[in-house]
Structure 1
Amino acid sequence: MEDFMAVPVVLITGALTGIGRSTAEAFARDGASVVVSGRHPDAGDLLAKELNGLGARAEFFRADVRSDDDLRDLVDFTVDRFGRIDVAFNNAGTEGVPGPITEVTDDGYASVFDTNVRGTLLSLKHEFRVMKQTGGSIINVSSTYGQMGFPDASLYVGSKHAIIGITKGVALEGARHNIRVNAVAPGFTRTAMYERVTGADAVRDAVNAVLPMHRPGTPQEVATAVQFLGSTQSQYITGQVITLDGGLMAGWPLFPEN
């Protein structure tokens, strides 16, 4: 078996777009063995081909994180193909349909919490099942909205708060098995979700104006943090949240006019 330090085995859910895709590409460039997962086989197969071209040994496996059976099969496929899982990035998520609390429905709740919260829990369940034998690093995805409130987004905000709590609790379970569990919490990041949420250029300009760095983050910047948490450079870090928000959570920026 190849040395973990030389060739890590990385599993990524929600890998077909945005932060997940950028993270898969970053690990691939480093020559990792990568299993990418999502719900769209055509896009997944194309991504795996691209990752192989970047230097990875990559496979796509279709899985819906809302399904316990799918996640069991995804984890088993990864172990069957590459022998173990060293790094798992639980990235699948959805913002749902924004709206006031008076318009929350059972279906709206299920669409957000089944993907963001249940999907993270089920991913952890099956990743722990195999990582208990070898150890490893798991990174979940929260958000700055997991550390603050935002109007008309109660379901999304609640789900991202939940992921931080789950991360901290499960990290304590994993410590005795040499399994580290952390989270990344991106702020405004230039993804398709960012484009949907901000909409018009005027809204994006207004958002950028209140960000201390006056710009959104990039998926590549989040990928760098995931790689750090998956590496031995962070081997004494567990139960933590790395916030990537350009300074937004530090406080209200007061810049002089230029």
Structure 2
Amino acid sequence: MSRQFEGRTVFITGAGGGIGRAAALAFAQEGAKVAATDYNGEWAEETARLITEAGGEAYGARLDVTDRAAVDAAVDAVVERWGRLDCAFNNAGVTREDTRSPWGDPEAYAATFAVNCDGVMYCIAAEARHMAKAKRGAIVNTSSIAGMSGSGGAAYCGSKHAVIGFTQSAALRFASDNVRVNAVCPGAITTPMTDAVNQDPRAAAFVAQMHPLGRMGEAREVADAVLFLCSDKASFITGHPLAVDGGFLAR
């Protein structure tokens, strides 16, 4: 381990499982202090427990990212506790559509955009407020291959395109403050969200063959990309949507 984040702090949403938990554990392994938040507070606390049992420093807390005041308070709590905010991974996201959903379903649209768009915007604003003052920081947002193509339902696809727009707008706005803002765009990743696919061999084989590498990705593979974008090795990268997709978008 290089311990490249020794002495630094990171704030993560959607840290209760999947990609968010993988990123929290990876940051901790590299020396970061981790604030793990999730809509399910028990899951967030479990992530923090895994970190502390491994010798790291972390705490878990429930957070509804659609509540702007709660987001502001959660980000402020990191700075109050550790005196700084170096990195943030805005990973909380939902999908409310499936193959049976009508295109443009208003209820799915509203529920999806509330988390995937409003939540990301609130988080960026709260994080950048502290980072700009300190003249340092790195933010990564979770988009999707659906944000770089037409894949998925209207609400999910539209919301993930919006995340890339937020990312690029914030990257330009805060560049002069030495705050970098990027996004990761995962393909199909083995997480609790894709359990239903993995439990059906035919569905799993179909999803796997969509990726030229011939398989679904692992949560840790996306986490590695997040750590890279937050690291000093990515010091000249901002406003970039990084596909972690097994070649899906190259087809």
Contact 1:12–1:37 (CA under 8 A) maintained in structure 2: yes
Shift of 1:107: 2.4
> 2:240 maps to which residue?
240
Please tell me the root mean square deviation across aligned C-alpha atoms, in Å. 1.7
Q: Deviations over 1:134-183 (max 9, x none)?
A: 220000000001011136x1110000011011111110001011100000
Please give the TM-score of this superposition, normalised by the length of structure 1: 0.91
> 1:207 maps to which residue?
207
Is residue 136 from structure 1 mapped to residue 141 from structure 2 by the alignment? no
Q: Deviations over 1:201-226 (max 9, x none)?
A: 20111121232111011000000000
Instruction: Report percent identity of matched pairs.
Output: 37
> 2:8 maps to which residue?
8
CA–CA separation in structure 2 for the residues paired with 1:203 and 1:36: 32
> More displaced, 101-110 or 7-16?
101-110
| SS of corresponding position for 2:216 | coil
Contact 2:5–2:32 (CA under 8 A) maintained in structure 1: no
| SS of corresponding position for 1:24 | helix
Q: For 1:88-237, list aligned pairs within 5 A.
A: 88-99=88-99, 102=102, 104-134=104-134, 135-150=136-151, 153-196=153-196, 200-237=200-237
Contact 1:30–1:56 (CA under 8 A) maintained in structure 2: no
Aligned length: 247
| SS of corresponding position for 1:26 | helix
> 2:79 maps to which residue?
79
Q: Deviations over 1:94-150 (max 9, x none)?
A: 011225774544322121000000000000110111111122000000000101113
| SS of corresponding position for 1:95 | coil
Structure-2 change in CA distance of 1:196 and 1:5 (3 Å)? closer
State the AA in 1 paired with 2:151: F
Shift of 1:5: 5.4
| SS of corresponding position for 1:16 | coil
CA–CA separation in structure 2 for the residues paired with 1:147 and 1:235: 24
**Runs of 4+ more than 3 Å apart:** 99-106, 196-199
Structure-2 change in CA distance of 1:101 and 1:44 (3 Å)? closer
Structure-2 change in CA distance of 1:241 and 1:44 (3 Å)? same
State the AA in 2 paired with 1:58: A
| SS of corresponding position for 1:183 | strand
Please give the TM-score of this superposition, normalised by the length of structure 2: 0.93
Rg larger for:
1
Contact 1:90–1:140 (CA under 8 A) maintained in structure 2: yes
Which ranges of structure 1 fall in alignment gaps of 5 or more residues? 252-258
> More displaced, 45-54 or 235-244?
45-54
CA–CA separation in structure 2 for the residues paired with 1:5 and 1:192: 28
| SS of corresponding position for 1:185 | strand
Contact 2:190–2:217 (CA under 8 A) maintained in structure 1: yes
Q: For 1:32-43, list aligned pairs within 5 A.
A: 32-43=32-43
| SS of corresponding position for 1:139 | strand
> More displaced, 190-199 or 215-224?
190-199
Which ranges of structure 2 fall in alignment gaps of 5 or more residues? none
Shift of 1:74: 0.4
